Structure 1
Amino acid sequence: MKVIDHIRKAEAEKRTAFSYEILPPLRGKNIDRLFKNIDALQEFNPIYINITTHRSETVFKETPDGLFKKVTVRSRPGTIAIAAAIKSRYNVNVVPHMLCSGFTKEETEYALIDLQYLGIFDLLVLRGDKAKHEKQFTPSVDGHSHATELQQQINDFNHGILCDGSKTEAYDHKFSYGVAGYPEKHEEAPNMDSDIHFMKQKVDNGAEYIVTQMFFDNTKYFDFVDRCRKEGINVPIIPGLKPITFKSQLTVLPKIFKSDIPQELASELLKCKTDEEAAVVGTEWTIKQSRELIKAGVPNIHYYTLMATQSIKQIATELF
C-alpha cells in the first residue's frame, strides 16, 4: 500500500491516522539518535514517516595561505539511504522529499532510479527554499524552477521517459506523491487566491494529497480546506502540526515559517519562565488542536518532530 492508500483507508474507517516528519542527522553524526526517536513513536503505528531533503549550500572557507576557497557542502545528507534504512528496520512507508532547490534534473533522475531499486514509491514533491545566500529562489543550472516542473519529470519517469527525452522500459510500480499546502499562504505568493490557483495546478498535475505547513490556529486550516474545495481541489488535505518546545519559538517560528501564533497561545508562552514550562504549554495546545481536528474527521494528522519528539510522544499517547 502507498501513503494515499493508507490515508483513504483511514478516511473510509472514519478514524484519524498518525504520521510524522524527521530530519536526517547532521553531517558527521550517526543514525542511532534518530532510531531512538523513531523507536519512541513506533507504538502509535505511524502510517508513514517523511524524511526531509536538504540542498547543498555554497560557502567560502579560508585556506592556510589566507585565501578563500569556494566549497559546496550539505549539512544533512543521506535522505535516500535513511529512507531505505527506516523501511527495512520498521516496515513502514517512508516518504523522502524531492526538491527543485539545489538539484539538477539529472540528479533527480538518479534519485528516482535509486528509489525504484529500493522499492520506495512514495514522495513529497516540493520546490524547496532558496539558498541562504540568495535574495530570491534561483534554480540550479538545468534544474526546475517550480514544483509543477518537478512533478512533470516524475510523471514522465513513471511512463519510461528520461530527462534527456530518451525512452526506457516503464516500471510496474509508479511513484505516488503529495505536495505542500500553506493555510496562511506561501510567503512568495501575492495573495491566497494566487496560492490556491497554483495548488490546483499541482493537484491537476498528479498530486494525490496535500500536507500543510505548520499552523497554530485551526480556523486557518478549515478556511484553507474550504477555499480549496470551492476551487475543485478534492484530494485529502493533511494538517501538519508542531508543538512549541522552547520559549524562543514564539518569535522564531513566525519568522521562519510565517505562521501566526494566536494571542491566547502567545500570552501563555509569555508567562513561561523556562523552556520546560513552554514545552508543557506547547504540548497542551497541540493536543487541543489535534482533538478538534480529529472531531472534524481528518483522516491523518502529520507532526513535525524537530526538537519535539518527547512532546509528540505525549500527544500521541493522549490521542492515538
Structure 2
Amino acid sequence: MFIKDLFKQKRLVYSFEIFPPKLTSPIDTVYKTIEELAILNPDYISVTYGAGGSVNNNRTCELSSLVKNKYGIEALAHLTCINSDEEKITKIVDSLNKNNVKNILALRGDVNGEQNLEDSYKYAYQLIEYLKERGNVCLGAACYPEGHIQSDNIDKDIMHLKNKVDAGADFLISQLFFDNSLYYNFLDKAYKKGINVPIQAGIMPVTNKKQIERIASLSGAYLPEKFIKIMDKYEYNPEALRDAGIAYATEQIVDLVSSGVNGIHLYTMNNPYIANKITTSISSLINHINKEAI
C-alpha cells in the first residue's frame, strides 16, 4: 500500500523511524528492534539511508524489505541524492521495487565540501521529479518547522518546500522539534503557501543530554526553557532522564494529536523500550481519533 493512501484512510497516521547499523556492525543487531517495534502495530516504519554501502549491499533495502515482507508493515525507505547520478539512483530504486518496497522518502542528503556536485542531483525536488516520472511509487519529503539550518529564513525555506510538493511529493515528515507552537506556526505558513499534502510531526524522545545538544547543534532546533530544565535536573541520573524525556515527548504528542495534526512520526533511535512506553500511553488517543474518522 502507498503511504499516501494511509492518510486517506486514517485521521491520524502513526509511524516509527529506525536506522541501519554501521557497515562494521552486524545487521542482525537491528532485527530484534524491528521485531519489537512491529508488535506495536505502527502504520509504517521508515528506514534511514545506509550511506557507504554498494547498491548490492544497501542495508536500507534489506531492512525495508524485512519490515514489508516478513512483518507485513509498510516500509518507507530513505533515499538521498547528493553526489548520486541517475544510474545509481535507478539501481537502488529497482532493488527496492524488486523487494516490494514502493514508498520512498526523497532527500537531498548532507553536503560534504569535498564532493563534486557537477554530475549529481543537487536538490531533493530533482530526485522527486525523477522518481515521479518513473511512476509506481509513493514519495515523501522532509520539512523543517524552524527552517532548514542552511536556509536564510522560514519563509524562503517554505518556498523550497513548495517546490518539492509541486514536483510530486505525496506527504511530508517534519524534522524534530521541541516547541509545538513553532510547529503550528509552520503549518499555518505552509497551508497559506498552498502546500496541501499531509504533514507528519516528527518527535524525538530525548534520553541523553549530550545527544540532544549534538542534535540541536546540527538541526538548529530551539530548546524551550522547560526542556532545558529537565535536561539539567536529571543529567546525571540516566533512568530519571529517560523517563523525563519520554514524558516530555508524550506531552508533546498528546497536544499535537488533540490539535488535529495529520500524523506522528516517532524517531525511535532504535530503542523499542521508549517506543513501547510512548505508544502504550497514547494508543487510546490514536484509536479514538481514528474511530471518529470512520
TM-score of the superposed pair, with normalisation by structure 2: 0.90
- CA–CA separation in structure 2 for the residues paired with 1:25 and 1:78: 8
Q: Provide the residue aligned with 1:5 in structure 2.
A: 5
Paired residue secondary structure (1:44): coil
- CA–CA separation in structure 2 for the residues paired with 1:266 and 1:281: 11
Q: Aligned match of 1:309 in 267, 272, 286? A: 272
Task: Note closer, same or farther for the CA distance 1:81–1:232 as it changes in structure 2 (3 Å cut).
Answer: same
Contact 2:83 2:119 in 1 (8 A): no
- CA–CA separation in structure 2 for the residues paired with 1:73 and 1:6: 32
The answer to whether the aligner puts 1:188 opposite 2:150 as a matched pair is: yes
Q: Provide the residue aligned with 1:285 in structure 2.
A: 248
The answer to whether the aligner puts 1:37 opposite 2:14 as a matched pair is: no
Contact 1:100 1:139 in 2 (8 A): no
1:249 deviates by: 2.7
Contact 2:106 2:124 in 1 (8 A): yes
Contact 1:182 1:213 in 2 (8 A): yes
1:141 deviates by: 4.9
Listed one character per residue, the Cα deviations across residues 88-110 of structure 1 (whole Å, up to 9, x for unaligned) are 21011111111112422210011
Q: Aligned match of 1:94 in 66, 71, 75? A: 75
Contact 1:49 1:93 in 2 (8 A): yes
- CA–CA separation in structure 2 for the residues paired with 1:23 and 1:141: 29
Contact 2:30 2:270 in 1 (8 A): no
Number of aligned residue pairs: give it: 281
Paired residue secondary structure (2:70): helix
Q: Aligned match of 2:121 in 141, 144, 152? A: 144
2:7 is aligned with what amino acid?
A: I
2:29 is aligned with what amino acid?
A: R
Q: Provide the residue aligned with 1:257 in structure 2.
A: 219
The answer to whether the aligner puts 1:79 opposite 2:60 as a matched pair is: yes
Q: Aligned match of 2:20 in 3, 24, 29? A: 24
Structure showing the higher helix proportion among its residues: 2
Contact 2:38 2:73 in 1 (8 A): no
Q: Provide the residue aligned with 1:164 in structure 2.
A: none
The answer to whether the aligner puts 1:157 opposite 2:134 as a matched pair is: yes
2:5 is aligned with what amino acid?
A: D
Q: Provide the residue aligned with 1:200 in structure 2.
A: 162
Contact 1:104 1:143 in 2 (8 A): yes
Pairwise CA RMSD of aligned residues? 2.0
Contact 1:52 1:97 in 2 (8 A): yes
Q: Provide the residue aligned with 1:297 in structure 2.
A: 260
Contact 2:79 2:107 in 1 (8 A): yes
Listed one character per residue, the Cα deviations across residues 121-170 of structure 1 (whole Å, up to 9, x for unaligned) are 11000001123xx27xx554521001111112112222xxxxxxxxxxxx
1:177 is aligned with what amino acid?
A: L
Contact 2:82 2:123 in 1 (8 A): no
Alignment of 1:99-110 (within 5 A): 99-110=80-91
- CA–CA separation in structure 1 for the residues paired with 2:223 and 2:274: 18
- CA–CA separation in structure 2 for the residues paired with 1:120 and 1:139: 30
- CA–CA separation in structure 1 for the residues paired with 2:237 and 2:89: 44
Contact 2:145 2:174 in 1 (8 A): yes
Contact 1:183 1:212 in 2 (8 A): yes
